[in-house]
Amino acid sequence: MDPWLVILLICGAYLAITLVMGVWSSRTVSASVDGYVAGDRAMNVVVLYFVLGASVFSSFAFLGAPGWAYSRGAAAFYIIAYGVVGMVPLYFFGPRARRIGERFGFVTQAEMLAHRFDSRTISVVLAVLSVAAFIPYMTLQMKGAGYILATISDGRVPEWLGALVTYGVVLVYVFTSGVMGIGWTNTFQGVFMLSIAWFLGLYLPSTLYGGVGAMFNEIAASDLRAMLQAPGLGADGEPWSWAEYSSAVVVSAFGFSMWPHLFMKSYAARSERTLKLTVVLYPTFQLFLVPILLIGFAGVLAYPDVAPADTIVPFLLTQIDLSPVVVGLVCAGTLAASMSSGDAILHAAASIGLRDGLRPLLHTSMSDRQERIWIRTLVVVLSIVAYYFAVVSEVSIVALLLGAYGGVAQIFPLMFATFYWPRATGAGALAGLLAGIAVNTLFLVAPELKPVPLHEGIYGLMANVVMLVAVSLSTAPEPAERMRTYVESGTPAAAEAPTA
């Protein structure tokens, strides 16, 4: 049997196992919106750990991160820098959000913020922002799956078909099981891709150079030694400035736990202790990135000029002498990385699109059954939209992610004000959010207008905070009783029912 066919059969078997596991998980939760979106608020530490970890380290980690190490060297270390601290805000925000969500029935981030600031408009704006950020993130996952299957089959499986088949599986189990399907498949996928990452990250330097140390010694002695000097190289091949490097870390750290599909898992945790313990354990997931970056560095001298850089992992798999079975398992691990983020993003985008976008706009109440039908319909629609962009887009994987982070980071000032600044008003929150999004978008599409070469999200955060503070101080305070629910520590005092 041809090696490429063996590899595809192993990947197919992996997809089949994931599909069965994802669909079976629907039996473990109630047939309600609370069960479909928040898993009946019953996720344990193990499942929550892998949901949070595997949801973040995706095609970006298995393809984008090695691609940056391969093409930009030390610049890729920004990923570890923000990942170490990015989940810290959730330690403080998450337990409060879970407590309030359980009390009022909230299952999304925007529902809570809309109640805190008594604003349907904020709910709709956050829904639009979330879905707009999710589309490129989901596109990223689909492009990654297409890259892998096309490369390892020598083009016999085109990228559009690889993405279609892989995300057809994701669509089925997300449509059927909701968040618990995501939880159990992410646990399986997380263990699988961690094992594959460490195997490949140690095997490639050993095979190509004689070890990790020997690999770095050879790069340091070559004309490419600048790749090992922080902060690495920019997209143009010139040294990246410390301002650009640091601002990318800061924006990514602020936006990390603000991603709605991650923050929503606060509502799914079995208890506040479960959530806090998961956040404390979470930095250990960064160990996954160490071998991932080693994979990228392994190709620097051995196989120069691979383009696009995001394909360095599947390219290396076609060049080294590995059993087709091992290559198949490695490719399945890469698909696991893509799917473990794609499913969570798709589920969150559909839930947010309905509960925070369509429902407030329609000014109508829906039965539990109607909500589930609408959410599942959006799962299908958003899958089609993301797939379209995955097939026609030429943007790199890391560029897609960095662009999305700048918008999502604009939620951070609102979340901080929700719990720690009772003087913040709905008008101030809305003004800050809109200003942050506008400025971020402006510098994203017109980077030549930046006065200093910082990530556009930094400028957005500056405008956001200024408008939030200025407008809040010039408008009437929010009712003290509602503020007490969010600001006081311990068990919240009684508060009015949500109006948004």
pLDDT tens by residue, 423-460: 999 999 999 999 999 999 899 888 889 999 888 989 99
- Check if the beta carbon of residue 498 is closer than 8 Å to that of residue 111: yes
Mean of the pLDDT values across residues 11-33? 84
Sign of CA dihedral 298, 303, 304, 310: negative
- Check if the beta carbon of residue 151 is closer than 8 Å to that of residue 372: no
pLDDT-based confidence at 40, cuts 50/70/90? Answer: confident
What are the backbone angles phi and psi of residue 206, rounded to the nearest 5°? Answer: -65, -40
- The per-residue pLDDT for 394 is 65
Place of tokens 């080693």: 294
Which pair of tokens denotes residue 245? 């490097």
- The per-residue pLDDT for 123 is 92
Distance between CA atoms of residues 199 and 237, nearest Å = 30
What are the backbone angles phi and psi of residue 192, rounded to the nearest 5°? Answer: -65, -50
Which pair of tokens denotes residue 114? 């809309």
Closest to 275 (Cα-Cα) out of 7, 54, 90: 90
CB atoms within 10 A of CB 202: 16
Higher pLDDT, 498 or 311: 311
- Check if the beta carbon of residue 282 is closer than 8 Å to that of residue 49: yes
Helix axes 179-209, 3-24, angle to 10 degrees: 150
What percentage of the chain carries pLDDT values higher than 90? 30
Pick among 1.20.1730.10, 3.90.320.10, 3.90.380.10, 3.40.50.11710: CATH of 3-399? 1.20.1730.10
Higher pLDDT, 340 or 396: 340
pLDDT score of 461 more than 90 = yes
Distance between CA atoms of residues 319 and 287, nearest Å = 26
- Check if the beta carbon of residue 10 is closer than 8 Å to that of residue 332: yes
Which pair of tokens denotes residue 63? 């393809």
- The per-residue pLDDT for 436 is 94
Mean of the pLDDT values across residues 453-477? 95
Distance between CA atoms of residues 350 and 379, nearest Å = 5
- The per-residue pLDDT for 433 is 95
Quote the DSSP letter at residue 123: H
Distance between CA atoms of residues 343 and 179, nearest Å = 9
- The per-residue pLDDT for 434 is 95
Distance between CA atoms of residues 148 and 280, nearest Å = 33
User: What is the rounded end-to-end Cα distance, in angstroms, of the chain?
Assistant: 60
Whole-model pTM: value is 0.80
What are the backbone angles phi and psi of residue 416, rounded to the nearest 5°? Answer: -60, -45
What percentage of the chain carries pLDDT values higher than 70? 94
pLDDT score of 60 more than 70 = no
Residues 143, 145, 148, CA angle at the centre, nearest 5°? 105
Which pair of tokens denotes residue 212? 């990790």
- The per-residue pLDDT for 489 is 43
- The per-residue pLDDT for 318 is 76
Closest to 135 (Cα-Cα) out of 399, 331, 404, 488: 404
Closest to 204 (Cα-Cα) out of 315, 76, 311, 284: 315
Cis omega (within 30 of 0) for bond into 479: no
Mean of the pLDDT values across residues 232-240? 78
Chain segment 113-160, per-residue pLDDT in tens: 999 999 999 999 999 888 887 887 788 788 878 888 887 788 888 988
Q: Would you list the domain boundaries of the chain?
A: 3-399
* Helical residues (DSSP H) of 264-396, grouped into ranges: 265-268, 272-281, 289-302, 312-319, 324-352, 359-362, 368-392
pLDDT score of 396 more than 60 = no
Cα–Cα distances in angstroms (integers) from residue 423 to residues 185, 188, 247, 474, 500, in the given order: 42, 45, 29, 10, 20
- Longest Cα–Cα distance in the chain: 74
